[in-house]
A and B are shown apart, each in its own frame.
Chain A
């Protein structure tokens, strides 16, 4: 036994001397110094990575059975559901995995907003995160088109039509995206290609996201820099076990949905094959797009709506400079803390009106909520940094009690 263990060690050393994978892992996943005070909201980064992996693995398996052709796409999904061994499980995991990926990422983003994780020196880390979100949105949108149900087709029609709002070249761009004069077979097959390609780009950006993270380390609930080694603990075993506990808990909820309410987050109309001659009563995107859909429809002008919708995400790129306060954590920013919760409610209200028809009171609500969304970033945050008096910051992470 002892000699075989020694041999194993010899082989690992031999490899590591030539290709330092083991010392790399040891450096960035085992010994990696992490703030000792991270709370459960810091679980969601690794959870997001896990769901990305789930999507890629189930997606690759589904792609072996799926047919990207307007005449066969819908039927090939039913083939997966009925004839492929455990195909229903793989597909339900993939369908709901997309939703859970977004849930986890949205929580991850709101954690960053609350604790000021976007502030210096983590601005590029934040940017890479938003880039991941944009890629996720593109991937999820194109993935939803693949089953070629009614919502697939009409969702694709509505969203691709947005580009026709661009002055002068809009119509040409839309036709170029379609590969024809309407959403049709060329659109489906290019969406399939891109839906397969983009996740691997996401993996690339995730690697950069982690490199940027490990350059200055995690932010923490107090939002202050670490003063010395007493403020850190090694990632393993402390955060590996905490992440595993969080993962196990999240999987319990995830699989409860997959096994007992797999269609809860979807729309029944997508079990009707796409029919270009029949418009569904309400065309609604997947739930994770609803806040942005509400912003799109809140503006009475088509081009204005499109600009507002994209601005709602691009304003996040400016956030590190719009928020003028030097204090990171909302714990020590009494007014920002309130604004954070109002903003969260605003985002939920936007999601809710996004699911309602654009008429009557819903239009008014969506306009107020849209206005507030931009007011929060463009007016309130820049001003707040100048006027807000923060509570005294603790001296160090190891001794937060002194400041209480």
Chain B
């Protein structure tokens, strides 16, 4: 490690320490899944998918999620094929060796918004819009953090220089490269729910919690059974232990 990289590391380290202090702690919101046995609110997650497709998907990918897995949110195969068909994906090379586009189908993964990393960067002022598949797990207190962040755009305080970015009180350093994406009424919900800003954000966060943890409901319901079984087994072993050892005391 040469002197330059070392000083760069120290500088960026110090900067991140100073800036990390300025971010507010996320506001705690009671989502349907917040409690240990809570579930994903399917209607909310479906609305969140709509917000993702109509707003977020133009910049952010969801590369680890397959369309087929949307069955977990209550869609059937036909509905999923219709959702996927809104996106164009590279087909396999044809007989002439050309790669043509085709509509995405049930078995495809969510189509990436950009051809590659550099294309994504250059289209967004040099800031790569991160993939959202795991965003809830990739941030501390992820669901509350993303919710607070999306609701946390305000005008910068007087004298605060945001440079090329935007002011956000929940972002580390208070400067975020992403302009405010949601304002309310950005989508027209198919189920007639009023698309207020907070409603959109809650729905989106519910959807992204599901993309991060598609195992959440299976995990919790299996966990309940396993813990119940182990609890009973522990009692049985304890009583056997007492019974067997009581022979020693005689």
A281 touches B16 (CB 8 A): yes
Contacts A248-B234, A249-B234, A272-B138 known; 5 new A-B pairs at CB < 8 A: A78-B64, A88-B215, A242-B241, A252-B231, A259-B223
A82 touches B142 (CB 8 A): no
Cβ of A36 within 8 Å of any chain B Cβ, yes or no, is yes
Q: Name the segment of A45-53, A187-195, A263-271 touching the other chain.
A: A263-271
* A123 CB → nearest B CB, Å: 31
B133 touches A255 (CB 8 A): no
Task: Report how far A298 CA is from B227 CA in the complex, Å.
Answer: 42
Task: Report how far A255 CA is from B12 CA in the complex, Å.
Answer: 39
A238 touches B245 (CB 8 A): yes
Among B219-234, those with CB < 8 Å from A are 219-220, 222-224, 226-227, 230-231, 233-234
Partner of A78, one of B17, B133, B241: B133
Cβ of B152 within 8 Å of any chain A Cβ, yes or no, is no
Cβ of A251 within 8 Å of any chain B Cβ, yes or no, is yes
A245 touches B237 (CB 8 A): yes
Cβ of A233 within 8 Å of any chain B Cβ, yes or no, is yes
A36 touches B223 (CB 8 A): no
A359 touches B17 (CB 8 A): yes
The residues of A that contact B17 with a CB separation of less than 8 Å are 281, 357, 359
* B145 CB → nearest A CB, Å: 9
Task: Report how far A81 CA is from B219 CA in the complex, Å.
Answer: 12
The residues of B that contact A36 with a CB separation of less than 8 Å are 248
Cβ of B140 within 8 Å of any chain A Cβ, yes or no, is yes
Question: Given A271-B138, A272-B138 in contact, is the A279-B237 Cβ separation under 8 Å?
Answer: no
B226 touches A255 (CB 8 A): yes
B residues apposed to A, CB below 8 Å: 1, 9, 12-13, 16-17, 20, 36, 64-66, 69, 130, 133-134, 137-140, 142, 172, 212, 214-215, 218-220, 222-224, 226-227, 230-231, 233-234, 237-238, 240-241, 244-245, 248
The residues of A that contact B240 with a CB separation of less than 8 Å are 241, 244-245
The residues of A that contact B248 with a CB separation of less than 8 Å are 36, 233, 238
The residues of B that contact A231 with a CB separation of less than 8 Å are none
Cβ of A262 within 8 Å of any chain B Cβ, yes or no, is yes
Cβ of A237 within 8 Å of any chain B Cβ, yes or no, is yes
Task: Report how far A238 CA is from B233 CA in the complex, Å.
Answer: 18
Task: Report how far A272 CA is from B137 CA in the complex, Å.
Answer: 9
A78 touches B230 (CB 8 A): no
A82 touches B223 (CB 8 A): no
Task: Report how far A112 CA is from B201 CA in the complex, Å.
Answer: 54
Closest to B133 in A: A78
Question: Given A75-B64, A248-B230 in contact, is the A281-B13 Cβ separation under 8 Å?
Answer: yes
Cβ of A366 within 8 Å of any chain B Cβ, yes or no, is no
Q: Please, what's the 1-or-0 string for A277-298, where 1 marks a CB less than 8 Å from any CB in chain B?
A: 0010110000000000000000
The residues of B that contact A256 with a CB separation of less than 8 Å are 223, 227
A-B contact number at CB 8 A: 95
B36 touches A260 (CB 8 A): yes
* B110 CB → nearest A CB, Å: 12
A-B interface, 10 closest residue pairs, ranked by CB to CB distance from nearest: A259-B223, A281-B16, A271-B138, A245-B237, A88-B215, A248-B234, A252-B230, A78-B64, A271-B137, A271-B134
Task: Report how far A258 CA is from B65 CA in the complex, Å.
Answer: 23
Question: Given A161-B1, A238-B248 in contact, is the A262-B219 Cβ separation under 8 Å?
Answer: yes
A255 touches B245 (CB 8 A): no
Task: Report how far A386 CA is from B1 CA in the complex, Å.
Answer: 49
Interface centre among B13, B172, B231 (most CB of A within 10 A): B13
A259 touches B237 (CB 8 A): no
Cβ of A213 within 8 Å of any chain B Cβ, yes or no, is no
Task: Report how far A271 CA is from B208 CA in the complex, Å.
Answer: 14
Task: Report how far A154 CA is from B234 CA in the complex, Å.
Answer: 41
The residues of A that contact B13 with a CB separation of less than 8 Å are 279, 281
What are 24 A-to-B residue pairs whose CB atoms are below 8 Å? A36-B248, A82-B65, A82-B66, A82-B215, A88-B215, A238-B245, A242-B241, A244-B241, A245-B234, A245-B240, A248-B230, A252-B234, A259-B222, A259-B224, A262-B219, A263-B137, A268-B137, A271-B137, A272-B134, A272-B138, A279-B9, A281-B16, A281-B17, A359-B17
Cβ of A89 within 8 Å of any chain B Cβ, yes or no, is yes
The residues of B that contact A259 with a CB separation of less than 8 Å are 219-220, 222-224, 226-227
A268 touches B237 (CB 8 A): no
* B107 CB → nearest A CB, Å: 12
The residues of B that contact A271 with a CB separation of less than 8 Å are 134, 137-138, 212
Closest to B68 in A: A83
* A149 CB → nearest B CB, Å: 9
B139 touches A82 (CB 8 A): no
Task: Report how far A268 CA is from B227 CA in the complex, Å.
Answer: 26
Task: Report how far A75 CA is from B134 CA in the complex, Å.
Answer: 11
Task: Report how far A359 CA is from B69 CA in the complex, Å.
Answer: 46
